Structure 1
Amino acid sequence: MDIKVLEEKKNPLLQRREVKFSVSHNLGTPSREEIKAKIAAYLNSKPELVIVDHMRSDFGRRETKGYAKIYETEEHMKKTETEHIVQRNAKKEPKKEGEEEKK
């Protein structure tokens, strides 16, 4: 899985960097966790401060394009982003057997 940053923009007002990226992959579309780890490593940041906003894959292509935001601190991230977006990008813990999903 290779990642390319297509465009990077600093947003000092919201204390974050905004990144448009492209990922080439051999198998299915990579998960948000994999993308976050790659972007964090590429841009020298912590994965907890990366929010993957969206990812799009065209049918039949082994390429995914997306948009991510890298915050300076976790406090700024929680203040700016809506709660469901933060939860969507949070690290998933494995479900225990017999446990129901929260809705």
Structure 2
Amino acid sequence: MELELVKRRENPLLQREEVVARIRFKGGTPSRREIREILARQLGKAPSNVFIRRISTDYGKEEATIMAMVYHSRAMALMIEPKHIVRRNEGGEAA
């Protein structure tokens, strides 16, 4: 799997970084958990502070565009992120 950061935007008011990335993979689309771990490792953050908002894959392609929010603290993330996004990222709901 190969992850490429396309766009990074710091949002100091919400204490987060808004990231757009492209991931190339073989086979099926990777899970949110796998993408969170790879993105967190690349950005030097804890996976618990990374929340994947959207994974967009074109039919038949082995690449996806990811929109993620990377928070400075987990407490801030839980205050801002919608509950369904938190559940999806924490494994409580099918993505």
TM-score of the pair, normalised by structure 2:
0.93
CA apart distance, 1:84: 1.5
Paired residue type of 1:79: M
Matches of 1:86 and 1:60, distance apart in 2: 28
Partner of 2:66: 66
Q: Which has the larger radius of gyration?
A: 1
Equivalent pairs, count: 93
Residues 21-100 of structure 1: pairs in structure 2 closer than 5 A: 21-90=21-90, 92=91
Paired residue type of 1:57: T
SS in 2 for 1:9: strand
RMSD of aligned Cα (Å): 1.4
CA apart distance, 1:85: 1.2
Deviations 1:49-103 (A, max 9, x none): 000000011111110111000001111001111112111111x38xxxxxxx9xx
Unaligned 5+ runs, structure 2:
none
Matches of 1:59 and 1:88, distance apart in 2: 22
Partner of 1:18: 18
Structure 1's consecutive aligned runs of 4 or more residues displaced over 4 angstroms after TM superposition are none
TM-score of the pair, normalised by structure 1:
0.86
Unaligned 5+ runs, structure 1:
94-100
Structure with the larger helix share? 2
